[in-house]
């Protein structure tokens, strides 16, 4: 077998010929540029690292103790409080409720916590707190409006809103509280306190609102509303100075019932003790009997709005009116 012959030197490709090239020494200018580039790269890397570390410190400090940053920035303490409300709460009440520490700055405030403090009072339906640079706090309150008052056996008087929420009524004068109709028929809690929420108040508020808009001449005589039959029978009983007991049905339109009550008053030949509007167009009315002569020195009886009128054993001839037409 023949051995492969070597490729002649002259027939080799230049790629196959070993190259012995000595690296060219870097010039002084080249070394200077290389060092400058390396230094610039290191400086940029150090700057980026410092920014990242500093940013992390800022984030942690802002989260844990924003007062440090506030003092570093020289922020002024909160000086002014701007209040906007649709009710009776005052700036003094807001300041006392927020209880801001002295010399606290806007940066240190937790707005969510401040709003929660304000909303703990059930008189406040909604609270919004915003920062106003450089050193003011804006508070906007939406307050619940009372539609009735509730007197408890323990001697406390509460206000009741249309959504059934009860509250003490900060900022309301005694005259304003007494002008509200007395709500009765509400079962107190076991300890004598009022329930936090009174069921059926939306129905009561609807009746009072209709009377205020359509029959203010009737409403001015109303002193209270008994709701003890609302859940069981769907009935509301209004106490009035001219008609001690007026029965409304929650299943019928209150506007129609108020119109019937007006007509009954017009056709009645004398004072009425009771009017039942809960039977639709067929209204039942009970005339009032003449009061017996008072004994000398006796105190006149004062009717109570806190409970249904007592039923007398004396016969009172009731009559029915068909007001369908």
Class of residue 125 by CB neighbours under 10 A (exposed 0-12, middle 13-18, buried 19+) = middle
pLDDT at 119 over 80: yes
Q: What is the pLDDT of residue 176?
A: 97
Question: What pLDDT score was predicted for residue 70?
Answer: 47
| Cβ neighbours of residue 201 closer than 8 Å, sequence gap 6 or more | 147, 148, 160, 161, 162, 163, 164
Provide the residue ranges of all domains of the chain, joining segments of one domain with +: 30-64, 73-143, 146-290+302-322
* 3-state SS class at 206: helix
Q: Quick one: DSSP state of residue 314?
A: S
Mark residue 183 as left, alpha or beta (left: phi above 0; alpha: psi -120 to 50; beta: remaining). Answer: beta
Give me the sign of the Cα torsion angle 12, 15, 18, 21.
positive
pTM: 0.71
Most confident of 38-42, 202-206, 269-273, 296-300: 202-206
Q: What is the pLDDT of residue 312?
A: 46
Q: Picking from 53-62, 218-227, 314-323, which range would have the lowest pLDDT averaged per residue?
A: 53-62
> Region 15-36: what's the mean pLDDT?
66
Q: State the pLDDT at residue 232.
A: 95
Q: Identify whether the C-beta of residue 129 lies closer than 8 Å to the C-beta of residue 138.
A: yes
Q: What is the pLDDT of residue 29?
A: 72
* 50: its two tokens: 């410092």
Domain spanning 73-143: which CATH class is it, in words?
Answer: alpha beta
Is the pLDDT higher at 126 or at 321? Answer: 126
More confident residue, 236 or 317: 236
For the segment 23-35, the average pLDDT, to the nearest whole number, is 68
Angle 145-147-149 from CA coordinates, rounded to 5° = 110
Closest CA to 222 of 283, 149, 290, 279: 149
Please list, residue by residue across 249-277, b when 16 or more beta carbons sit within 10 angstroms of its beta carbon and e when fewer do.
Answer: bbebebeebbebbeebbeebeeebbbbbb
**Under a CB-based contact definition with an 8 Å cutoff, are residues 137 and 156 in contact?**
no
For position 117, what pLDDT does the model report?
97
Residue 114: CB atoms within 10 Å? 20
Q: How far is CA 235 from the centre of its chain?
A: 29
pLDDT band at 190 (very low <50, low <70, confident <90, very high): confident
Within this chain, domains 73-143 and 146-290+302-322 share the same CATH topology: no
Architecture label for domain 146-290+302-322: 3-Layer(aba) Sandwich (3.40)
pLDDT (0 to 100) of residue 57: 47
Q: What pLDDT digit, counting tens, does each position of 135-156 carry? A: 999 999 999 999 999 998 878 8
Mean pLDDT of 267-271: 89
What does each C-alpha distance from 297 to 88, 207, 226, 258, 300 come to in angstroms?
44, 40, 32, 40, 9
The SS3 call for residue 283 is strand
Residues 243-258 have pLDDT tens digits of 999 999 999 999 999 9
Q: What is the mean pLDDT of the chain?
A: 83
- Rounded to 5 degrees, φ, ψ at 182 are -80, 125
Asked whether residue 192 carries a pLDDT value surpassing 90, the answer given is no
Whether 183 shows a pLDDT value over 50: the answer reads: yes
- Which pLDDT score is estimated for 187? 87
Of 264, 278, 263, the residue nearest 229 (C-alpha): 278
pLDDT at 188 over 70: yes
**DSSP designation for 40:** H
């Amino acid at each position: 077998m023949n051995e492969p012959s070597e490729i002649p030197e002259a027939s080799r490709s230049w790629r196959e010929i070993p190259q012995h090239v000595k690296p060219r020494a870097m010039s002084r200018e080249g070394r200077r540029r290389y060092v400058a580039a390396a230094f610039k790269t290191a400086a940029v890397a150090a700057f980026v690292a410092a920014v990242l570390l500093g940013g992390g410190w800022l984030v942690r400090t802002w989260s844990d103790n924003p007062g440090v940053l506030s003092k570093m920035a020289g922020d002024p303490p909160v000086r002014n409080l701007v209040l906007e409300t649709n009710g009776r709460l005052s700036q003094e009440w807001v300041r006392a409720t927020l209880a801001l520490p002295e010399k606290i700055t806007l940066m240190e405030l937790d707005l969510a916590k401040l709003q929660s403090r304000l909303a703990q009072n059930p008189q406040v339906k909604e609270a919004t707190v915003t920062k106003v640079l450089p050193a003011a706090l804006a508070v906007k309150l939406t307050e619940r409006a009372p539609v009735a008052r509730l007197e408890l056996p323990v001697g406390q008087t509460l206000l009741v809103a249309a959504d059934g929420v009860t509250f003490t009524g900060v900022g309301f004068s005694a005259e304003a509280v007494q002008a509200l109709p007395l709500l009765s028929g509400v079962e107190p809690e076991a300890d004598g306190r009022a329930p936090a929420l009174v069921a059926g108040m939306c129905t009561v508020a609807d009746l009072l609102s209709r009377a205020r808009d359509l029959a203010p001449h009737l409403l001015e005589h109303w002193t209270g509303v008994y709701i003890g039959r609302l859940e069981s029978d769907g009935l509301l009983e209004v106490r009035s100075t001219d008609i001690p007991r007026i029965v409304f049905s929650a299943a019928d339109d209150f506007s129609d019932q108020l119109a019937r009550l007006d007509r009954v008053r017009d056709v009645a030949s004398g004072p009425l003790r009771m009017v039942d509007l809960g039977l639709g167009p067929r209204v039942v009315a009970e005339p009032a009997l003449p009061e017996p002569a008072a004994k000398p020195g006796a105190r006149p009886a004062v009717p109570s709005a806190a409970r249904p009128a007592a039923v007398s054993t004396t016969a009172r001839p009731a009559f029915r009116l068909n007001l369908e037409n």
